[in-house]
Amino acid sequence: MSDHPVVTPYGDQETGKKGQVTKMFDRIAPYYDLLNRVLSVGIDTLWRKKAISLLAVQKPGVILDIATGTADLAIEAARTLRPQKITGLDISPNMLRIGEEKIRKKGLGDIISLEVGDSENLRFETGSFDAVTAAFGVRNFENLLKGLTEMNRVLKPGGSVVVLEFSKPRVFPVKQLFNIYFKNILPVIGRLKSKDKNAYTYLYESVQAFPDYENFSDILVKAGFKNPEYKVLSFGICCIYLAKK
Ligand SMILES: C[S@@+](CC[C@H](N)C(=O)[O-])C[C@H]1O[C@@H](n2cnc3c(N)ncnc32)[C@H](O)[C@@H]1O
């Protein structure tokens, strides 16, 4: 049972959230990177950089990037942390296809490997990774607690989790401007450019329904993590959550 309302891209009439999310990302994959850059005016790149920089002290050797999509976070981690190995996992084959191409072009194929998989049922053994990361992924899980508990399971004791996710700004006027932009402007651009009329409405609705700040930190604890902390980015539009196993 989820402790927050479950928002799905295409409503109730189709498959469960997991099937709908896979279908949505498979559809928008060719437009995903460009839309990220345009809709966030490039700030999403800085958010990922900041998230990965928090792992620099730990210098993780083996990293799992959950919901890796087109692999931007995995690529940033490979470049700045130079670990031995990064596994990027995602449920959408089309997102991974774009990621594979980027990794190949950047010559990072010896560090990063991508695979199709579901974060809620990981094939990896308990205690396999020094760090587990997820950027804009956990909000899309069908069962958030199950996905986070799996992320905890595959982490080594003492390992770190870093989650980057949208949050709801609380301060005037960012809160008001963010709502106008996210609710009214972004879905229109998204619809025109991604050819999926629901994807960017789902983005707004799923952020509204998703636990943030202390509420998300509490769920990390329920999933087995210790010492959760969060760092607010861009006046609360985004948050980085950090915790240990
Ligand atoms: C908004 S994209 C984020 C991609 C990438 N991490 C980034 O920073 O751009 C969310 C990704 O989560 C993936 N996803 C959603 N639910 C998943 C699950 N249960 N297991 C694995 N991946 C999942 C989607 O397929 C999609 O590629």
Distance 181 CA to ligand 1 centre (A): 23
Query: Does residue 56 fall inside a structural domain?
Result: yes
Amino acid at 232: V
Query: Does residue 2 fall inside a structural domain?
Result: no
Amino acid at 245: K
Distance 169 CA to ligand 1 centre (A): 22
- What does the alpha-carbon distance between residue 61 and residue 63 come to, in Å, rounded to a whole number? 7
Answer yes or no: is the C-beta of 68 below 6 A from any ligand 1 atom.
yes
Atom of ligand 1 at shortest distance to CA of 89?
21
Residue 7 banded pLDDT, cuts 50, 70, 90: confident
- What does the alpha-carbon distance between residue 179 and residue 171 come to, in Å, rounded to a whole number? 12
DSSP state of 5: P
Query: Does residue 207 fall inside a structural domain?
Result: yes
Give the DSSP H/E element, type plus range, for residue 239.
strand 238-244
Q: Does residue 30 carry a pLDDT above 70?
A: yes
Answer yes or no: is the C-beta of 91 below 6 A from any ligand 1 atom.
yes
Domain count, the chain: 1
Q: Does residue 242 carry a pLDDT above 70?
A: yes
Query: Does residue 12 fall inside a structural domain?
Result: no
Domain with 222, as residue range(s), is 17-244
- CA angle at 223 for the pair 222 and 227, rounded to the nearest 5°: 75
CATH number for the domain spanning 164: value is 3.40.50.150
Query: Does residue 31 fall inside a structural domain?
Result: yes
pLDDT digits (tens, 9 = 90+) for 183-233: 888 788 878 777 787 887 888 898 999 999 999 999 999 999 999 999 999
Query: Does residue 4 fall inside a structural domain?
Result: no
Let me know: does 130 contact 154? Beta carbons within 8 Å. Answer: no
This prediction has a pTM of 0.95
Let me know: does 207 contact 238? Beta carbons within 8 Å. Answer: no
Q: How far, in Å, are 90, 194, 221 from residue 24 at the CA level? A: 13, 10, 30
**Residue whose entry in the numeric block shows the structure tokens 């700004």:** 169
Query: Does residue 8 fall inside a structural domain?
Result: no
